[in-house]
A = this chain, B = another copy of it.
Amino acid sequence: MTKLTSSMPCVLLTGFAPFAGESINPSWQTVSKLDDSLIAKHRVITLELPCEFHRSLAILYQAIEQHHPVLVLCVGQAGGRCEISIERIAINIDDARIDDNAGNQPIDTPVIANAPAAYFTNLPIKRMLLALHQAEIPAAISNTAGTYVCNHVMYGLLHHINQHEPQINGGFVHVPYLPSQAVHHNGAPSMSEDTLLSALKVMINEAISAKQDIKVAAGTTH
By a beta-carbon cutoff of 8 Å, the part of chain A in contact with chain B is 20, 76-83, 85, 88-89, 91, 93-98, 105, 107-108, 116-120, 126, 133, 136-141, 143-148, 150, 174, 179-180, 182-183, 186-192, 194-195, 213, 215-222
Contacts and interface: CB of A to CB of B under 8 A. Distances in A.
Contact of A222 (B78, B91, B194): B78
B140 A143 contact: no
A74 to B, nearest CB: 13
Main SS at interface, chain A: loop
Contacts of A219: 93-97, 107, 146-148
A187 B82 contact: yes
A50 to B, nearest CB: 15
Contacts of A137: 179, 183
Given A179-B137, A187-B83, A194-B194, A148 B93 contact: no
B89 A91 contact: yes
B191 A190 contact: yes
Contact of A82 (B97, B145, B190): B190
28 contacts: A20-B221, A78-B222, A82-B82, A82-B187, A89-B118, A91-B118, A91-B120, A93-B219, A96-B217, A97-B219, A105-B217, A108-B213, A108-B215, A116-B118, A136-B183, A137-B179, A138-B182, A138-B183, A144-B220, A146-B222, A147-B220, A148-B220, A148-B221, A174-B222, A179-B195, A189-B189, A192-B194, A194-B194
Contact of A133 (B20, B136, B183): B183
Given A120-B93, A147-B219, A190 B107 contact: no
Contact of A97 (B76, B94, B191, B217): B217
A222 B148 contact: yes
Given A96-B217, A138-B179, A192-B192, 15 more contacts: A78-B221, A88-B91, A91-B118, A96-B219, A98-B221, A107-B216, A108-B213, A136-B179, A138-B182, A138-B190, A139-B183, A140-B187, A147-B220, A150-B222, A192-B195
